[in-house]
Amino acid sequence: MRGSPLFLCVFSVSCWMNLMPTAGDRIFHFGACRVSISMTEIRAGFTAIKANIVSICQAPGDRCCITYQLFTFYVDKVFKHCRTEDSFVNRKISSIANSFLSTRRKLGQCVSREQNNCLCGEESTEKFKQILANYEGLNVTSAAMKSLGELDILLDWMEKSHAVTPACQG
């Protein structure tokens, strides 16, 4: 067994290399488990997905309409089915739902007052239909919790959007 020490050395180096993070990877400790994860790659992928979702709201006229549709979606479909075992979390969900309901009412007044300035374009309409189809393809509770988890995309877009369309002021 002359090759055994060399094999053992190569095998050890190979195992050690598998534990070393590659460029952009970080080692995460989950209890006894150590996992190398490329957070840069994951974040880049998520950013691309997020940009695609946010692209729904590019045209100024679409912003009013799609925002109203998204708030309606969250009020009518998502918040009604978000229940957890934690009463604190449920109260927070209820608080967010009430804020969305109030905002939707205000947007609804704007939409009815400015019908011609608050129309969704064809691309936005199609993307919103895709969102609904994906939502309805899941179990109601799972879909609601998934949508709640993705709420940050909408909130980020709202906070970063500095353009105010005259049709939706008020």
pTM over 0.75: no
pLDDT of residue 58: 60
pLDDT of residue 10: 39
CA 2 to chain centre: 57
Could you give all domains of the chain from N- to C-terminal order, each with its CATH number? 18-57 (no CATH), 59-168 (1.20.1250.10)
What is the Cβ-side half-sphere exposure of residue 25, based on CA atoms within 13 angstroms? 13
Contact 75, 101 (CB under 8 A): yes
What average pLDDT values come out for the chain (170 residues) when binned by 10 residues? 44 42 72 87 76 62 80 92 90 93 86 69 83 87 88 83 53
Strand, coil or helix: what is 78? helix
pLDDT of residue 116: 62
CA 120 to chain centre: 21
Torsion of CA 60, 122, 50, 44, to 10 degrees: -110
Angle at 108 between CA 159 and CA 67, to 5 degrees: 35
State which H helix or E strand residue 37 sits in.
Answer: strand 33-38
